[in-house]
């Protein structure tokens, strides 16, 4: 059980969803170590009926029979329940570990609904790629999806009384928060217990990776270049046995599916986005960056150029963490030395976001982007714009 006394909003959201008239599977997906299991257990503590919990996060991935056995436990509990008005709650954790999980869940769920068995189901998963694949292939019309994101400034403040600078450096991993007074121990914990676990269990174990060492090196390279535009050819020059740009692009997508790193594409106004452009590297949690670099909080805060990168990366990560559930796309723009840090495209509008922080940049970028894309609206984030504190405490959908 967790060492902090805080309940994420997703707990209330799912409890509300479980009370809907239409009976659905409730799918919770998101990064490792952000409290998905804790949230599910908090829901279980509030549940009026029996709760059955099973986790597929085992040394060897279980087969279909593991899901069937957990379901049978819930069915048996439902038949023996003294309170016929309250369903049994079944929680299946890290279900993406089971190959073909969605077909089995579909079969069992359809039978449960057809026979009116008193079972409600919450499914948890840490790989967006495998979860989304299962949902689209087998479970259409049967689920409600919840996204459990990295912790933002507001949550880390409420749970641990963190200020903006501390969150910008240590990021949003609640399990690592008690270790920050010993920065060396904090760094080792994030690298060994978070980064290596995600790469080993959520990427390498569940995907066919021809060059696992290359994938790890790509992660390390990306982590030390936050919010920077890095061409694939430059990556190849810095990585051993890098193969070709297609391999690097594919590996970057796998790291994105594990909620680690995204490579934003170049924005093209009024045209289809160009695939294969030099990606702008955004790390989904600043804690990943600083655990890899090994710099102390004081060293980073006194390096204004580096701190500016951390701030800009945090802005990009804030957008990615919270806009995934909406039909919005996040890009960057650059042309002849002019740059717009982020471009958010919604179904009806285009927003250019300029981050004003410690690093110097061409001050004409906003004006040039407006010439390039006249219909765009411009937002400045930082001094003389939306204050950083306000921006990071606001859901991006409320800005667009």
Q: Are 252 and 320 in contact (CB under 8 A)?
A: no
Q: Is residue 238 part of a domain?
A: yes
pLDDT at 2: 42
Q: How many domains does the chain have?
A: 2
The answer to whether residues 133 and 190 belong to one domain is no
The answer to whether residues 119 and 204 belong to one domain is no
**HSE of 147 in the Cβ direction (CA atoms, 13 Å)?**
13
Buried b / exposed e along 342-371 (16+ C-beta atoms within 10 A): bbbbeeeebbbbbbbbbbebeeebbebbee
Strands 350-355 and 228-229: unpaired
Q: Is residue 309 part of a domain?
A: yes
Helix (H, G, I), strand (E, B) or coil at 83: coil
d(CA 71, CA 13) in angstroms, rounded, equals: 24
pLDDT at 316: 98
d(CA 197, CA 189) in angstroms, rounded, equals: 11
Q: Which two tokens stand for residue 32?
A: 């490792």
| Greatest Cα pair distance in the chain | 72
* Beta strands across the sheet bearing 338-345: 329-335, 338-345, 350-355, 377-381
| pLDDT, tens only, 24-46 | 999 999 998 899 999 999 999 99
Q: Is residue 153 part of a domain?
A: no
Helix (H, G, I), strand (E, B) or coil at 113: helix
Query: In angstroms, how far is the first alpha carbon of the chain from the final one?
Result: 37
Q: Are 143 and 22 in contact (CB under 8 A)?
A: no
| Cβ-based neighbour number of residue 164 at 10 Å | 17
The answer to whether residues 94 and 200 belong to one domain is no
Q: Are 138 and 103 in contact (CB under 8 A)?
A: yes
Q: Which two tokens stand for residue 63?
A: 């087969």
Buried b / exposed e along 112-142 (16+ C-beta atoms within 10 A): beeeebbbbbbbbbbbbbbbbebbeebbeeb
| pLDDT, tens only, 241-252 | 777 888 999 999
Q: Is residue 350 part of a domain?
A: yes
Whole-model pTM: value is 0.91
The answer to whether residues 77 and 182 belong to one domain is no
d(CA 176, CA 174) in angstroms, rounded, equals: 5
Q: What is the DSSP string of 14-69?
A: HHHHHTSSS--EEEEE--TTSSHHHHHHHHHHH-SS-EEEEE---SS---HHHHHH
Q: Which helix (H) or strand (E) holds 121?
A: strand 119-125
pLDDT at 1: 38
The answer to whether residues 198 and 141 belong to one domain is no
Q: Is residue 113 part of a domain?
A: yes
Q: Tokens 């010439």 appear where?
A: 371
d(CA 109, CA 139) in angstroms, rounded, equals: 10
**HSE of 353 in the Cβ direction (CA atoms, 13 Å)?**
24
| pLDDT, tens only, 210-265 | 888 999 999 999 999 999 999 998 998 888 777 788 899 999 999 998 899 999 99
The answer to whether residues 197 and 72 belong to one domain is no
Which has more confidence, 363 or 174?
174
Q: Are 105 and 24 in contact (CB under 8 A)?
A: no
Q: Which two tokens stand for residue 187?
A: 């760094």
The answer to whether residues 112 and 169 belong to one domain is no
Q: Is residue 3 part of a domain?
A: no
Q: Is residue 158 part of a domain?
A: no
At residue 196, does pLDDT exceed 80? Answer: yes
Share of the chain above pLDDT 70, in %: 93
- Residue 386's DSSP bridge partners are 381
The answer to whether residues 249 and 380 belong to one domain is yes
Instruction: Provide the CA 152 distance to its chain's centre, in angstroms.
Output: 11
Q: Is residue 76 part of a domain?
A: yes
User: Residue 77: which CATH number?
Assistant: 3.40.50.300
d(CA 55, CA 91) in angstroms, rounded, equals: 8
The answer to whether residues 90 and 120 belong to one domain is yes
The answer to whether residues 168 and 38 belong to one domain is no
| Cβ-based neighbour number of residue 244 at 10 Å | 10
Q: What is the DSSP string of 363-387?
A: TTHHHHHHHH-TT-EEEEESTTSB-
The answer to whether residues 201 and 254 belong to one domain is yes
Residue where a domain stops, chosen among 147, 172, 197: 147
The answer to whether residues 107 and 190 belong to one domain is no
| pLDDT, tens only, 348-400 | 999 999 999 755 566 688 999 999 999 999 999 998 899 999 999 999 999 88
| pLDDT, tens only, 110-169 | 999 999 999 999 999 876 666 777 677 778 889 999 999 999 999 999 999 999 999 999
The range of the structural domain enclosing residue 367 comes to 164-398
Residue where a domain stops, chosen among 112, 147, 182: 147
């Amino acid at each position: 059980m967790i060492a902090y006394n805080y309940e994420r909003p997703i707990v209330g959201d799912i409890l509300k969803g479980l009370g809907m008239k239409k009976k659905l599977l409730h799918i919770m997906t998101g990064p490792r170590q952000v409290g998905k299991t804790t949230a599910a257990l908090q829901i279980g503590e509030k549940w009026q009926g029996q709760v059955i919990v099973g986790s597929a996060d085992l040394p060897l991935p279980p087969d279909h029979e593991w899901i069937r056995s957990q379901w049978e436990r819930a069915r048996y509990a439902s038949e023996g329940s003294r309170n016929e008005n309250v369903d049994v709650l079944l929680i299946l954790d890290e279900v993406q570990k089971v190959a073909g999980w969605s077909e089995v869940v579909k079969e069992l769920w359809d039978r449960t609904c057809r026979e009116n068995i008193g079972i409600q189901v919450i499914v948890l998963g840490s790989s967006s790629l495998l979860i989304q694949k299962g949902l689209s292939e087998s479970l259409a019309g049967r689920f409600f999806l919840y996204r459990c994101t990295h912790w933002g400034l507001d949550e880390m403040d409420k749970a641990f009384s963190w200020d903006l600078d501390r969150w910008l450096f240590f990021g949003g991993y609640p399990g690592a928060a008690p270790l920050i007074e010993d920065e060396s121990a904090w760094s080792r914990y994030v690298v060994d217990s978070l980064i290596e676990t995600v790469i080993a269990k959520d990427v390498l174990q569940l995907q066919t990776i021809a060059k696992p060492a290359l994938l790890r090196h790509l992660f390390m390279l990306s982590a030390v270049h936050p919010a920077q535009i890095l061409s694939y050819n430059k990556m190849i020059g810095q990585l051993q046995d890098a193969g070709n740009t297609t391999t690097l692009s594919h590996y970057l997508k796998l790291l994105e599916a594990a909620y680690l790193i995204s490579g934003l594409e170049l924005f093209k106004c009024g045209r289809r986005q160009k695939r294969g452009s030099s990606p702008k590297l955004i790390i989904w949690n600043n804690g990943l960056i600083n655990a890899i670099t090994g710099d102390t909080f004081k060293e980073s805060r006194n390096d204004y150029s580096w701190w500016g990168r951390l701030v800009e990366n945090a802005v990009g990560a804030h957008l990615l963490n919270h806009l995934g559930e909406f039909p919005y796309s996040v890009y960057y723009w650059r042309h002849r030395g002019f740059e717009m840090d982020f471009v958010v495209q919604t179904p009806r509008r285009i927003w250019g976001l300029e981050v004003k922080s410690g690093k110097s940049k061409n001050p004409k970028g906003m004006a040039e982007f407006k010439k390039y894309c006249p219909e765009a609206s411009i937002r400045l984030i930082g001094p003389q714009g939306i204050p950083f504190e306000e921006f990071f405490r606001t859901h991006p959908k409320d800005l667009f």
